[in-house]
Amino acid sequence: MNRNEQLFNRAKAIIPGGVNSPVRAFGSVGGVPRFITKAEGAYVWDAEGKRYIDYVGSWGPAIVGHAHPEVVEAVREAALGGLSFGAPTEAEIVIAEEIAKIVPSVEQLRLVSSGTEATMSAIRLARGFTGRDKIIKFEGCYHGHSDSLLVKAGSGLLTFGNPSSAGVPADFTKHTLVLSYNDVAQLEETFTAVGDEIACVILEPFAGNMNLIRPSENFIHTLRALTEKHGAVLIYDEVMTGFRVALGGAQSLHGIKPDLTTMGKVIGGGMPLAAFGGRKDIMACISPLGGVYQAGTLSGNPVAVAAGLKTLEIIQRPGFYETLADRARQLTQGLEEAAKAAGVTFSTDFIGGMYGLYFAAECPNSYADMTRSDIEAFKRFFHGMLDKGVAFGPSAYEACFVSAAHTPELIEETVAIAREVFGQSV
Ligand SMILES: *Cc1c(COP(=O)(O)O)cnc(C)c1O
């Protein structure tokens, strides 16, 4: 048994499934997860001492590269001054002002510790603000694991969702309508029928949890118009896309002003930090100002805020996003050419520092589309690459990431490895 196998067995004895978040268990690709001992720049090392070029980036946060010296120094400095106070600090004001400057739709915001908390709180807030119960989400979009969002579509258009997880009472999901991403007609029909009962619509403005899927322009603009007309709160869940597809997030690319935005991943630079914010009149409904309760012992944690602030500083340096997009372009084009040369059905897409790899002739438009891609081919590609020292996320249903530490040379190396893998085993 190698060291990763030993650790996995030991972990499984004490942690359910051996992991603290399910995707890490390699359930959908098979095999043994790599236990990471350290990370630096574009690399991670496993328990066997093997080095990988890493395209997971902690699922998004590592946008400036792992263990960036300036971020590590900021964390060290903050930690020396105390790990948590449970009282307000000036740094929280600074990062809030910084986020509001970068994302103008965010007039006020509150810091929390995870994306799940951010979306859960934003939905509670939308319900409190509108006095309505019903919410709309889209199939294949992930917004964290709070009860009312662990839902799959009901049997008919206007039947509310069923729990997609054991332990969630049907009573908790009966207010959640699950619609198809990019289906404008369905959206219009729904708003015609129950628009005035909808508290909010939450969406991933570029979906990244069913691989990468773009919304159509018509879908996005119809959504904004309908929510506005019916007084429903539009929530852009930018936990993944924020500071990732562009500095100002998906909303800056769409030219849309959502009512509320949720953020996470990049804003913590690898530490537990997330946020929700938006219109001041809506944010005024939160405790202690208003009646919507929301709180957190570690919210605005000084060490997490220090990591976030330094990360936000680095990503605002000239050319950062141009470089990131260049790298994503180089990688996706290189992989496409490698697949084509080997006769493998494969396509790609990218937006800023986020990209999708699809074992399908065309990029998918919806969750149903995505399920028709060749998942077995993905698994062979994933393991072929991993064996040769390149780590992608262990699921066909996840978007992938590049960081500023992925140099053109490293990407060329990745593409060369992909040529071998496509040629041999995919
Ligand atoms: C990751 C993610 C979440 C959940 O964030 P956690 O920090 O894992 O709780 C919510 N929404 C989107 C779009 C995400 O990608």
Residues 214-224 have pLDDT tens digits of 999 999 999 99
Mean pLDDT check: name the lowest of 51-55, 239-243, 370-374: 370-374
Domains and CATH numbers, the chain: 3-67+319-424 (3.90.1150.10), 69-316 (3.40.640.10)
Q: Assess contact for 115 and 123: CB atoms under 8 A.
A: no
Are 399 and 209 in contact by the 8 Å Cβ rule? The answer is yes
Return the residue matching tokens 């199939």: 139
Residue 310 designated active-site:
no
Quick one: average pLDDT of 360-383? 95
Q: Which amino acid is at 59?
A: W
Q: Which of 137, 129, 150 is nearest to 282 (CA)?
A: 129
Q: What is the pLDDT of residue 353?
A: 98
Q: Which two tokens stand for residue 388?
A: 């040769």
Query: Residue 121 C-alpha to ligand 1 middle, in angstroms?
Result: 13
Whether the CB-CB separation of 144 and 115 falls below 8 Å is answered with yes
Residue 57 pLDDT exceeds 90: yes
- Please state whether the predicted TM-score (pTM) of the whole model is above 0.95: yes
How far apart are the C-alpha atoms of 220 and 142, rounded to whole Å? Answer: 18
Taking every pair of Cα atoms in the chain, the longest distance, rounded to a whole number of angstroms, is 62
Strand 347-351: give its sheet, edge to edge: 347-351, 354-358, 400-401
Asked if the model's pLDDT at residue 384 lies above 70, the reply is yes
Model confidence over 395-414: pLDDT tens digits?
999 999 999 999 999 999 99
Three-state SS for 314-379 is: HHCCCCHHHHHHHHHHHHHHHHHHHHHHCCCCCEEEEECCEEEEECCCCCCCCHHHHHCCCHHHHH
Specify whether 171 is catalytic: no
Whole-number Å distance, alpha carbon 116 to ligand 1 midpoint, is: 6
Give the closest residue to 269 by CA, choosing from 171, 141, 403.
403
Evaluate if residue 262 carries a pLDDT over 80.
Answer: yes
Give ligand 1 pocket residues (Cβ under 6 A): 114-116, 119, 142-144, 204, 208-209, 237, 239-240, 264, 274
Please identify which of the residues 134, 174, 265, 379 carries the catalytic annotation. 265
pLDDT reading at 290 higher than 90: yes
* pLDDT tens, position by position, 117-166: 999 999 999 999 999 999 999 999 999 999 999 998 776 666 678 899 99
* Contact of 335 with 345, CB cutoff 8 Å: no
> Which residues lie closer than 8 Å to 197 by C-beta, 6 or more apart?
132, 133, 134
In the reported structure, the alpha carbon of residue 119 is separated from the centroid of ligand 1 by a whole-number distance in angstroms of 8
pLDDT at 70 over 80: yes
Residues 206-215, mean pLDDT to the nearest whole number? 96
Give, to the nearest 10 degrees, the angle between helix 69-80 and helix 302-315: 150
Q: What percent of the chain has pLDDT over 90?
A: 95
Pairing of the two strands 108-112 and 260-263: unpaired
**Are residues 273 and 304 in contact, defined by beta-carbon separation less than 8 angstroms?**
yes
pLDDT of residue 155: 67
Atom 8 in ligand 1: which residue has the minimum CA distance?
115
Q: Which amino acid is at 88?
A: P
**pLDDT mean across residues, the chain:** 96
- pLDDT score recorded for residue 200: 98
Catalytic status, residue 355: no
